[in-house]
Amino acid sequence: MLQARYIQHNLIFRQAAGTSRGVLTTKESWILILYNSENPDVFGLGECSLIPRLSPDPFIGYEQELNKLCQNIQDHEKWTVQQGKSFPSIRFGLETALLDLKKGGRRTLFSNKFSAGERGIPINGLVWMGSPDFMKKQIIEKIEAGFNCIKIKVGAINFEEEISLLAFIRKQFSAGEISIRLDANGAFGPSDVFEKLKQLSAFKIHSIEQPVKQGQYELMARVCAESEIPIALDEELISISGAENKTKLLQEIKPDYIILKPSLLGGMRESDEWIKIAEKHQIGWWNTSALESNIGLNAIAQWTAEKSPEMPQGLGTGQLYTNNIVSPLTISSGNLFYDHTKTWELKQLLK
């Protein structure tokens, strides 16, 4: 008989992570554990975690809902239909844990060249908001570590200082050598977005995520139509469900790319539907983690590898925490690998 329990494992950042929504020092996370009562030593793991002011899940009552799911795990399909849309991160954790258990509880959710340790996934190097010197230091470290795609958070410090950082990169590296992605997290407004995009375009930017806040469809459609920089939707996808609504959104806004975060969108199957619709409309995409621990990151990476991506993915968040779960995931020369010479260390977590 299928059984379930969970443990809370709050993640602690190595250094404060600055975003346009504020500074993060910790991240709430719960690990869902599924097993059959006849063989409890074989178990599947799934991560349910929240990002303040971004995750659509209700914070109040979140753990109570997770507990209710565990108590009634035999009816998990019914829960997914009735409650899953309101708790996308729990839905992602449930989907992951079920798949892990089905595959033998070995954290190999998909059998592909990545999970076999034969091929890496190209990823972008993430640069967090902070002082100009701090951001410059990160940029140098990422380039020296072998990343040829850098993602820079913008919108929190002085815009002229952000321009200076981009000029610093382009003075040393052409667009052919280093690709620059920007993430504004909705920081620009109707009065300044077009002028700022115009100034940013001088630095041959690959794309910019969510230049204005989600929900402003007419403005975002105009931005996509007029911007010299390709536009990627991120937060805009959150809480949009059903193929018809997803199609309508992409047809109205016409972005160049969409960015998929399974724990914010309700899981891998929901994200697969976004990809199918995007490709039908000639819209590019890439996948990214939403600050999960290595449990969630591993699931997203193996799912991503099924699609043999050539474009760098946003899967470089595994080194952010002091208390991350030790795993075979490693980063080398701008690629994420599953290193079979390393093992999962779960005893401390599951004690």
Give the active site residues.
153, 261
Distances (CA, A) of 263 to 39, 57, 120, 134, 324: 28, 10, 22, 29, 18
CA 346 to chain centre: 23
Produce one character per residue of 174-197: b if its CB has 16 or more CB atoms within 10 Å, e if not: eeeebbbbbbbbbbbeeeebeebb
Beta bridge partners of 153: 183
- Distance from C-alpha of 118 to C-alpha of 106, rounded to nearest angstrom: 18
Vertex 107: Cα angle to 106 and 111 (nearest 5): 95
3-state SS, residue 314? strand
Q: Is the dihedral of CA 280, 283, 284, 288 positive or negative?
A: negative
3-state SS assignment for residue 6: strand
Q: SS3 for 264?
A: helix
Spatial separation of the C-alpha atoms in residues 139 and 192, rounded to whole Å: 26
288 pairs with which residues across the strands?
314
Instruction: Report the C-alpha gap between 334 and 149 in whole angstroms.
Output: 8
Residues 6 or more apart from 344 whose CB is under 8 A from it? 107, 325, 326, 327, 328
CA distance 15 to 285: 29
Place of tokens 């793991």: 45
Which residue type sits at 165? Answer: L
Give how far Cα 292 sits from Cα of 222, 268, 320, 348, Å.
33, 14, 10, 18
